[in-house]
Structure 1
Amino acid sequence: MNDSAVIAAPPMDRVLDLFQGIRLTPTQRRIAHSLVQHAASAAYLSAAEVAELAKVSQPSVTRFAMALGYDGYPALRRRLREIAAAGYGRPDLGAPTGNETQRALRAEADNLDRLAEQLTDRDGVTAAGTLLAGSRPLVVLGLRAAAPLAGYFAYFAAKVLPDVRVLDSGGSLLTDRLEQARAAGANALLAIVLPRYPRESLEALREARAAGMSVVVITDSAVSPAAEYADIVLPAAVGAQLVFDLHTAPMALSMVLLQAICDAVPADSQRRLEEFEQSAVRRQLFIG
């Protein structure tokens, strides 16, 4: 069973551009998310069909189109059709070549290329790094498919931060551990939330915000359901061409974010890294 309910269509990044810099309501965010996830067919759906897809009312779809600056949904649909007609993928590569595995890996390369372009403006990552660097302890949330990424990030973050706590399992203990971290002084949380967006992850973000914590989210798009609860959203596309999702770009972004954390507290980071290296040599941890 694929850990993603839908296959992302090639023009999704162009559809995402329609929403950049626009503050959307939770209902409008659901509509935007549905359009992104069904980018290949969205241009041919009626307002009623989009409403059904997003589980909202038809007037909400009309208001959404107007919030984007269009006269109504028909004008937005024309724009979606222009995007669809513009073609898919890299324009200079022609038709897809290679077998399924090769195409999936090339799509991951495209995801990394888009992430690199996105990081031309590093203000968001820099702000997130500064925010997270100041939290003692730093809480890292990642459930289900995101759990390995949360652990990967936390492993390295613990080398430069004195207290990193990973929340990688749900259930009633999740809220307990979140409350304990808050009581210990945590004022910020990094959440990695990937498709299919675990309900418990969103509930934990809601709890964190209610407790007064700032939230940074690494997720697959700017209109992910997790974005509603985030102070800073750092999007990185997820590959969905294989049976199970590929998380190359989110993992890369997590390391970029850790670099930003180190840059926010350079003296402390360097001191802790040197202390770790001295300890590693004394204990002969590595052979190379």
Structure 2
Amino acid sequence: MGSASARLLKLFEGHRLTPTQRRIAHCMVRRAGDAPFLSSVELAELAGVSQPSVTRFAVALGFDGYPALRRHLRESEPPAEAESAAEGEGSTGLSEYQQAVHAEIENLRHLAALLEDPAPVERAGALLAASRPLPVLGLRAAAAQATGFAYFAAKVHPDVRLLTEGGSMLLDRIDGCVRAGARTLLCFALPRHPRETVEALESAREAGLSIVTVADSAFAPVAHTEDLLLPAAVGTGLAFDTACAPMLLGRVLLEAMCDGLPDAQARLEEFDARAGERGLFAE
């Protein structure tokens, strides 16, 4: 795919990792540019695990130890990227704001590469279209993505139920969606991942719902082998993460869902007609 994060994902594919090891993998994907240059102690601190856990992680991937894993990462990195990482982004002359924009552009390139295979998104779109109602979950940082998706989805889907508040009522609302006939739940999950999101997804699975998740990494804490997880990286160069790729992936899912709703175009035209009659928009 041509990016450091894509190379890491390919390295991790096919390995059965423990939750702690997935946490390390998730950290490495988020810090893909720095990963080949981190010591085992530094990686352990960033991932919030012990240094021996990092060693066991490297062995689980088939290496003799962490030094061998780091050497592999350095040797597999294209020279241009290695030189850039060694010199540091500050030498490019770009401001931190410009660097953040360029990082997001790279995230979008990575997303475009993932979408070369449209099958996962098409499958997700069919699941979302078939669910009546369609619960859309997003807590804390992910609430904005869930709200944006639900706003547009409600224009074409007959019953969208937005879930952006945690607490004891969240599981009740998921149960209510199941009783009403829901078959699939769409989840937006972004760092830092609330424990409530993980617990809500566990409850939804136990209730028999299929889960489609948009997450920042295939190794995010919300990842589950039974779910359809679609990764879209977030930017980490500013004080708060940027989420252009998850937002765009949400719009792509909307498009795929519309393909599974035969009356989607008619609903949009009906909305436009009513909006015109009411003078809803200034233009």
User: Normalising TM by the smaller chain, what interval?
Assistant: 0.7 to 0.9
Q: Does 1:107 pair with 2:103?
A: yes
Q: Does 1:28 pair with 2:24?
A: no
In 1, Cα distance between equivalents of 2:92 and 2:275: 47
The partner residue of 1:273 within 268, 272, 275 is 268
The partner residue of 1:142 within 138, 144, 163 is 138
In 2, Cα distance between equivalents of 1:53 and 1:111: 21
Displacement of 1:38 after TM fit?
4.5
Displacement of 1:219 after TM fit?
0.9
Q: 1:180 to 1:61 in 2, by over 3 A?
A: farther
| Superposed CA RMSD | 2.9
Q: Does 1:251 pair with 2:247?
A: yes
Asked if 2 retains the 8 angstrom alpha-carbon contact of 1:43 and 1:78, the reply is no
**More displaced 10-residue stretch of structure 1: 254-263 or 267-276:** 267-276
Runs of 4+ in structure 1 off by over 6 angstroms are none
Displacement of 1:52 after TM fit?
9.7
1:124-143 matches, within 5 Å, as: 124-143=120-139
Asked if 2 retains the 8 angstrom alpha-carbon contact of 1:48 and 1:58, the reply is no
The alignment covers a number of residue pairs equal to 275
The partner residue of 2:181 within 168, 182, 185 is 185
Displacement of 1:31 after TM fit?
3.1
The partner residue of 2:279 within 276, 284, 287 is 284
Structure 2: which 5+ residue stretches go unaligned? Answer: none
For 2:219, the equivalent position in structure 1 comes to 223
Matched-pair identity in %:
51
In 1, Cα distance between equivalents of 2:54 and 2:95: 42
In 2, Cα distance between equivalents of 1:14 and 1:166: 35
Q: Does 1:160 pair with 2:160?
A: no
Q: Does 1:81 pair with 2:74?
A: yes
What TM-score comes out, normalization by structure 2 length? 0.85
Q: 1:38 to 1:252 in 2, by over 3 A?
A: closer
Asked if 2 retains the 8 angstrom alpha-carbon contact of 1:217 and 1:230, the reply is no
Q: Does 1:121 pair with 2:121?
A: no
In 2, Cα distance between equivalents of 1:155 and 1:231: 24
What TM-score comes out, normalization by structure 1 length? 0.84
For 2:191, the equivalent position in structure 1 comes to 195
Structure 1: which 5+ residue stretches go unaligned? Answer: 1-9
Asked if 2 retains the 8 angstrom alpha-carbon contact of 1:150 and 1:192, the reply is yes
For 1:16, the equivalent position in structure 2 comes to 9
- The SS at the match of 2:170 is helix
Q: 1:76 to 1:154 in 2, by over 3 A?
A: same
In 2, Cα distance between equivalents of 1:144 and 1:229: 24
